[in-house]
Amino acid sequence: MQSDLDVARTAARAGAEVALKYFASLADLPRERKADGSVVTEADRATEAAVRAVLAEARPADAVLGEEGGETGAGTRRWIIDPIDGTASFVTGDDRWLVLLALEEAGEIVAAVAAVPAQDRVWWARRGGGAFEGPLDGTTGKRIHVTDRRPALAGSRLGVIPVAPNLYPSDLAISAPLSAVAAAVEWAVHAALMVANGSLDLALQTRGELWDFAATALIVTEAGGCYGGQDGLRGPRAGVSLFAADQTLWTAAHDVLWPQG
């Protein structure tokens, strides 16, 4: 029987294969708008369906929460899917979009996969088992760790999410206090994953839902980093999220973003 992490990796790869087919023919892909104004496409729905199909076969008793398909099932185990994280970038041909999948058990994220299919890369983690990075096919992988350089906030490398064309004035207003102190840099893959592998010190995601953070939060913490929001270090939830290489840096960044606590 496959482990939960192996199931997650298999499901994420299945979703990635579907998404890549759509990514290869973007000119033929119609764009729609959700009620909140965000972009959605047939690719999002088909990718989620592929992930759900693997989960239904391997873990039929588990609940599933997906960005496109909503919640099905019930129980203490719940899979959380963001089929294409970064759809607005996906439809422009930007290769930084992800397939995100996490398993929540009794309210705690215990396994996570973040695939970057167009770059043939994947990150994964198991609670208590560390974080890893490797090629999408999963044949090899290396354990990753946050940086040990321990910079002061003023000397830290910061990645801010989202980026254009999904960047709004409200995002800039949220990130401005931190960007004025830390060195905001461009990121080649999701900034939280770059914190996990030591390429960045901080990542700030100015908005999102549970499925946007469930996987990346575990990967960063299992790599030795910290994750949380305005209300402190905690598990993933909707809103503004802050990732850091260590707690001292996280606290310094938090105090700049939310000086009133």
Could you report the per-residue pLDDT of 149-208, keeping only the tens digit for each? 888 999 999 999 998 788 899 999 999 999 999 999 999 999 999 999 999 999 999 999
Q: Tell me, what's the pLDDT at 109?
A: 98
Specify whether 89 is located in the same domain as 174: no
Percent of the chain with pLDDT over 90: 87
Specify whether 206 is located in the same domain as 248: yes
Specify whether 121 is located in the same domain as 245: no
Percent of the chain with pLDDT over 70: 99
Mean pLDDT of 32-60: 91
End position of a domain, from candidates 144, 172, 204: 144
Specify whether 15 is located in the same domain as 76: yes
Specify whether 121 is located in the same domain as 59: yes
Coil, strand, or helix at residue 261?
Answer: coil
Specify whether 190 is located in the same domain as 231: yes
205: left (phi over 0), alpha (psi -120 to 50) or beta: beta
Specify whether 135 is located in the same domain as 57: yes
Coil, strand, or helix at residue 119?
Answer: helix
d(CA 205, CA 242): 6
Specify whether 183 is located in the same domain as 157: yes
Could you report the per-residue pLDDT of 50-78, keeping only the tens digit for each? 999 999 999 999 999 999 999 999 989 99
Half-sphere exposure of 198 (CA within 13 A, CB side): 11
Domain tally for the chain? 2
Specify whether 34 is located in the same domain as 159: no
Report CA torsion sign: 174, 217, 152, 232: positive
End position of a domain, from candidates 125, 144, 163: 144
Specify whether 20 is located in the same domain as 81: yes
Taking the model in full, what pTM does it have?
0.96
Range(s) of the domain holding residue 200? 153-257
d(CA 14, CA 161): 26
Specify whether 125 is located in the same domain as 169: no
